[in-house]
Chains A and B, each alone.
Chain A
Amino acid sequence: MTGGTAPLEGAEHKEADLGELGRLLGEGQHHGDAIAGGNTSDLSLDEILLLHSVGLEPADVVFGIGCVSITQGAWVWGTGEVTDARSAFHKALDDAKATMRRGCRQAKAVGVLGVEVEIEMSHHRCVIVVTGTAVRPVVDQSGSPIFKVDYHNNPFLSDLSARDFVVLSTSGWYPLDLVAGVCYAHAPRRSMGTAIGQSTQNVELTNFTETLYQAREEAMEQLQSHITAAGGTGLVDAKIVDRPMHFAHHVVEFIAYGTAIKMLAKEHTHPTMSLVMPLDDVVNKFEATSLAG
């Protein structure tokens, strides 16, 4: 990390004069051509302003799609993991990320923020769509970028919001890649006798509980290896999905994904916090209907 971002020091933010901004709005509408532009972003305005505070701006909305086939009979009730589903998932995710990185490079961006991940697993296909905003450094008057971190010339992909990215990067950390671990596992059948015997009892379905644990172990191990492969030392904001498949109820799906990160500064810098205590309590409103009796 070459000091592109300064720690959040809690500097007083001077609110702009609203009257002056209104005047600028009036003047701006009669201004000639835009001095810069052509950017596209699905970030909120607050997020764009936050990015500006660390020297980044949105460049383009980028997306990637991976659609991969799954062989016939992959979901037939058996034992152990549905390995076809796992390999299709990872190939679809890799395809989608590769397309997104291409878009990011075309936009001359250093990475993609706010990546939204849509996963659709069905009998014969796995479709993964990733959408986010590529961000690039703002240049100062001398033409050099204000945000100077560009880890190994490899654009980062992250599902963190701009707020989270600002806090992370000013603390000395840097996002590297969106990584996932996944497991689709068959819950073993209960014997007929066990099923009949349990039908009148409140008992744990240990076959499902154990399968869920096994699926979690497998997925988390994959996640660990993907974090390491991406060059990261950790993962933040992990999202976990565990559920039976809607088209194969005997299969448990476990997905964990998040942003692999690495500390590029010498040490972690904790931002100075200011405590805020709002005094605007909830007002008890009078309800006219209460008089109806």
Chain B
Amino acid sequence: MSTVTAPEPKAFDSGLTIPDFAACLSMGLRPVGLVQGYYVGQIASWNNYSAYPDINYPCACMEAEIHNPGWVGRVDGLDSSWASAHGTALTRILKEAGDLGAHGIVGVTTEMNHPTNENSCEVHLYGTAVVVEGSHAPRIPWTTQLAGHKLAKLIEAGLVPVSVIYARCTAVMAEGCYMEFYGSGRCGTGYEIKPLQDAHELARSGAINAVKKVANRASLYDVKLSVHESERYKSTYITCSLLGSLVRQVRTTLPIASPVPTINLGS
């Protein structure tokens, strides 16, 4: 990839709304350019299906034949493809911002989809690179989904942005006789279906823990979890995607005045 260079800006461009633009200027954040990071890639087809058992389940049907007991595992290859796609797009947007001499990027928006089929991935990040007047540039520009007054509130609470972050975990539940027994009603009512429960937990905790691993005492705020379930070849895939903002507490939260309850007479 050799074309990751920002255009030379003559006038600044930005994706800020007017209120955010005005607030950023008041905070001494000077917009220098609308920066973007793209990545479009192919996911190796075997990544969609290669998983190894983390948890095995005993044969539950109590029948004479030997059955496949079923298991739950993670599809690491698929998740690392998406994580690496997001990481590359983030590196590219940071490079563009760095080339403009920016200190950080505000209002970062993340778009992710499959441009062709499920074996392809596209990540598009864009935001407004800003310079903090009177300050010197950090080693790596910071990034945040916030801008304007929301960013001011974050700083007022004693926090500064570190980075936008994405994590994903796919758990697969391979149906064996355990699921055939417990998941098909043959066992009666009221039994816990452990494999499905474990797969749901694995997907969610996997995504959250992946972020905690890299957080390094930073906090993860504004988490958006999205869970998708699909079935292929008698296996259930549960994917949990996490988008959020890493923030660092640099001083104690200032006492915030009691909010004023209001009734809107205009609507």
Contact = CB atoms under 8 A, between A and B. Distances in A.
Contact of A19 (B28, B138, B218, B261): B28
Interface stretch (B82-90, B94-102, B153-161): B153-161
A39 interface: yes
A41 B249 contact: no
A61 B133 contact: no
Contact of A21 (B27, B249, B262): B27
A88 interface: yes
A199 interface: no
A44 B221 CA distance: 8
Interface stretch (B8-16, B63-71, B113-121, B188-196): B188-196
Given A34-B217, A35-B252, A138-B253, A66 B27 contact: no
Interface stretch (B35-43, B73-81, B179-187): B179-187
A284 B136 CA distance: 45
B26 interface: yes
Contacts of B220: 39-41
Interface string A79-92: 00000100110010
Contacts of A41: 219-223
A67 B199 CA distance: 11
B59 interface: no
B23 A18 contact: yes
How big is chain B's contact interface, by range? 35 or more
Contacts of B225: 42, 61, 131
A11 B227 CA distance: 41
Given A35-B249, A48-B221, A67 B215 contact: no
B103 to A, nearest CB: 7
Interface in B236-267: 248-254, 256-266
Contacts of A273: 261-263
A45 interface: yes
Nearest to B148: A18
A40 B212 contact: yes
B228 interface: no
A223 interface: no
A45 to B, nearest CB: 6
B153 to A, nearest CB: 6
A45 B219 CA distance: 12
B201 interface: yes
B32 interface: no
A124 B249 contact: no
Contact of B248 (A21, A28, A88, A99): A28
Nearest to A279: B266
Contacts of A49: 153, 156-157, 256
Contact of A42 (B184, B223, B250): B223
B261 A272 contact: yes
Contacts of B249: 34-37
B217 A37 contact: yes
A123 B250 CA distance: 52
A276 B267 CA distance: 10
Interface in B100-159: 103-104, 132-136, 138, 142, 146, 150-157
Interface string A1-25: 0000010111111101011011111
A24 B157 CA distance: 11
A53 B132 contact: no
A251 to B, nearest CB: 15
A61 to B, nearest CB: 6
B191 A28 contact: no
A139 to B, nearest CB: 10
A18 B152 contact: yes
B164 interface: no
Given A61-B225, A91-B190, A9 B26 contact: no
Contacts of B191: 68-69
Contact of B132 (A25, A50, A69, A88): A25
- 6 nearest interchain CB pairs? A26-B135, A22-B27, A28-B160, A22-B28, A72-B185, A124-B185
16 contacts: A8-B258, A8-B260, A11-B257, A22-B29, A25-B151, A35-B249, A38-B215, A39-B220, A63-B204, A67-B194, A72-B185, A91-B192, A129-B227, A138-B253, A275-B262, A275-B265
Interface of B: 23, 26-29, 103-104, 132-136, 138, 142, 146, 150-157, 160, 182-194, 196-197, 200-201, 204, 208, 211-212, 215, 217-225, 227, 248-254, 256-266
Given A13-B260, A40-B220, A49-B157, 10 more contacts: A21-B152, A35-B249, A36-B249, A37-B218, A37-B248, A40-B211, A50-B259, A271-B261, A273-B262, A274-B261
Interface of A: 6, 8-14, 16, 18-19, 21-31, 33-46, 48-50, 52-53, 57-58, 61, 63, 65-74, 84, 87-88, 91, 95, 99, 123-125, 127, 129, 131, 138, 166-167, 271-279
